[in-house]
Structure formats: structure tokens, C-alpha cells
């Protein structure tokens, strides 16, 4: 069993409070709306959803996603290599009349050998505070421009069409994208953004366990002695996102600079994106 196959066995427990939403068969599913921007503004609810890989969605979960949440589009940030390794060749989402699944990989092709995976994940497993995560997330920001542009084009052009964005765990590639959305929307309090990122710790509590660590050791060739590093690899610690937000500010002049200089959006585009993500609302779930 691969790491991906194991991860998707556990869906978000129905007992988790908002912003988590129980979509049967889909782990770590939540709405990014309802977060405060000002006293009168918040991020918009019922528009952008995030999750881990949804290929094991059940008929009940599919009904929640399509009928209750009215999601029209799913953006899959996984690489081609990940799709080829996924034991679920297709899911009910692929053939559902009301949902379009778009493969928008952050890393289109990657060497998936154990040696290369172990080397790549060394960034995440570094013991040097959040530096390893920042390095890994900088790589996502650099290589993910095509994928991220497509998602932000949806935000700009289709503000009435709710969508889901996911990678494998819904933590790193998805987490960086959502952080950019919060920043563009105008969320000034970085703790709010970092706290939302860290919710994955709760959304994935059932799978961040010794058996998953064993799968990483076996499938990815990671040194089994580095248990602490494996825990860091699986973590969504607040400080990692806080450090990444600082990097975005220093490297790109903030999220708006990233959208302009890296994704090619103009000022009018950025403003339309912001308006699509914001609502007059006091927030709170």
C-alpha cells in the first residue's frame, strides 16, 4: 500500500467543528470562508473548499459535494507521477455530470524513485526550525505558477461557481495556494492564516501515526532512525506557514506582487480576484 493509498482511507470525522465539513470518503475537507478581514469583511463562505485527495469519495460524500455544497469544479494539484501511482484509477467525480475535474499539477513530472523522494523530503524533515518548509514551499511557489494561475483565473472569472482544490494530503501545495488567497483577500493577521493552515493537524489526526511513518520509511526510502523528521514531514505547524508568509513578503512584495510578477495578472485582475474572495460579513463560524 502506498502512502497516498493509506492516507485516503481516513476521512474527516463528522465530529470536527467548522470550518471542517464531513464529506464522506474525503479527508481534511474544509471551507476557507468566514475568516475576518476587518470588522465588517471576511473571506467568502461556500466558494473555495480545500481537502486531501478525494478519489475514495462515497456516494453519500458525492451527494454532499455536488448537491449540498454545489461544487462545480475540482482542481487536482497532484503530479502526473502521483496520478499514475494512485491505486484508484478513477473516482465517481470523474464521471459526474455536474462536476469538472481539472488536473493542474504543481509539479507535472517528478522522479519518484525512493532516493529522489527522500532527497526532496529532506527539506521538510530538516531540524532547522521552519527553514526546510520555507525552502520546500518556495519550490512550490516557483514551480506551481501554471497551476496556481488556472485556479486564480477561476476565482476571477467564475465567482458564482464553487470549487475544490486538493493535492494528496491537502497540506502543502494546497496550503500555499490557500495562504495566497487569504493574503490577496486582505487578511492582515498572519496568525489567522497560519492557524487555518495548522487545522490539517486535526483534519489528519487519524493518519499521522506510526503506521503511516512506517509506510514512508518503506516506500520512500527514508531513514527509519529519523522519526522526528518524519513527524515534521507530516506536520502542519503554525510556525511553518508564518515563516512562509514572511518569505512571500520579502521575495515577492506580498501575494499581490506574486500574482502580478509570477502569474502575470494585472492590477484590475488582482482587484477582481480580491472581490471574489471577500464578503461583507463579520465572519465567525
Query: What pLDDT score was predicted for residue 203?
Result: 85
* Structural domains of the chain ordered from first start: 3-107+117-280 (3.90.190.10)
| Residue 276 cell numbers, joined | 471574489
Find the mean pLDDT for residues 250-271. 98
Is beta strand 278-280 parallel, antiparallel or unpaired with respect to 41-43? antiparallel
Q: What is the pTM of this model?
A: 0.89
- Whether 259 shows a pLDDT value over 60: the answer reads yes
Written as one string, the DSSP assignment of 260-277 is HHTT---HHHHHHHHHHH
Query: What pLDDT score was predicted for residue 59?
Result: 94
Question: What are the pLDDT digits (tens) for 122-153?
Answer: 666 666 678 888 988 999 999 999 999 999 99
Query: What pLDDT score was predicted for residue 80?
Result: 87
In 3-state terms, what secondary structure has residue 102?
A: strand
Whole-angstrom CA distances from 246 to 6, 24, 132 are 33, 36, 14
Question: What are the pLDDT digits (tens) for 75-125?
Answer: 999 988 888 877 676 788 988 999 999 999 999 876 444 445 556 666 666
Query: What pLDDT score was predicted for residue 118?
Result: 55
Query: What pLDDT score was predicted for residue 4?
Result: 41
CA 118, 123, 124, 125 dihedral sign is positive
Query: What pLDDT score was predicted for residue 217?
Result: 66
Instruction: Say how far apart CA 190 and CA 18 lie, in whole Å.
Output: 20
Query: What pLDDT score was predicted for residue 143?
Result: 93
Query: What pLDDT score was predicted for residue 24?
Result: 94
8 Å CB contact between 163 and 72:
yes
Query: What pLDDT score was predicted for residue 27?
Result: 87
Based on the number of CB atoms within 10 Å of its own CB, is 172 exposed (0-12), middle (13-18) or buried (19 or more)? buried
Question: What are the pLDDT digits (tens) for 151-209?
Answer: 999 999 999 999 999 998 899 999 999 999 999 999 999 999 999 999 998 887 655 44
Amino acid at each position: 500500500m502506498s502512502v497516498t493509498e493509506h492516507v485516503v482511507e481516513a476521512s474527516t470525522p463528522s465530529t470536527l467543528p467548522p470550518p471542517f465539513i464531513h464529506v464522506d470518503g474525503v479527508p481534511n475537507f474544509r471551507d476557507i470562508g468566514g475568516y475576518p478581514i476587518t470588522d465588517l469583511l471576511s473571506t467568502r463562505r461556500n466558494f473555495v473548499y480545500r481537502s486531501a485527495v478525494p478519489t475514495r469519495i462515497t456516494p453519500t460524500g458525492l451527494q454532499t459535494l455536488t448537491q449540498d455544497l454545489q461544487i462545480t469544479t475540482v482542481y487536482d494539484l497532484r503530479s502526473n507521477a502521483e496520478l499514475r501511482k494512485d491505486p484508484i484509477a478513477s473516482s465517481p467525480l470523474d464521471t459526474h455530470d455536474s462536476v469538472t475535474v481539472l488536473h493542474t499539477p504543481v509539479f507535472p513530472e517528478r522522479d519518484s524513485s525512493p532516493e529522489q523522494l527522500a532527497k526532496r523530503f529532506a527539506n521538510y524533515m530538516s531540524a532547522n526550525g521552519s527553514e526546510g518548509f520555507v525552502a520546500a514551499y518556495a519550490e512550490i511557489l516557483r514551480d506551481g505558477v501554471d497551476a496556481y494561475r488556472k485556479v486564480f483565473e477561476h476565482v476571477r472569472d467564475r465567482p458564482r461557481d464553487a470549487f475544490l482544490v486538493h493535492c494528496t494530503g491537502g497540506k502543502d501545495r494546497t496550503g500555499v495556494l490557500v495562504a495566497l488567497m487569504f493574503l490577496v483577500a486582505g487578511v492582515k493577521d498572519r496568525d489567522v492564516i497560519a492557524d487555518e493552515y495548522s487545522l490539517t493537524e486535526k483534519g489528519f489526526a487519524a493518519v499521522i501515526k506510526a503506521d503511516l511513518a512506517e509506510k514512508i520509511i518503506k516506500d520512500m526510502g527514508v531513514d527509519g532512525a529519523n522519526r522526528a523528521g518524519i513527524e515534521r514531514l507530516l506536520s502542519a505547524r503554525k510556525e511553518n506557514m508564518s515563516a512562509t508568509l514572511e518569505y512571500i513578503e520579502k521575495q515577492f512584495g506580498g501575494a499581490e506582487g506574486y500574482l502580478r510578477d509570477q502569474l502575470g495578472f494585472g492590477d484590475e485582475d488582482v482587484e477582481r480576484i480580491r472581490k471574489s474572495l471577500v464578503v461583507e460579513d463579520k465572519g465567525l463560524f
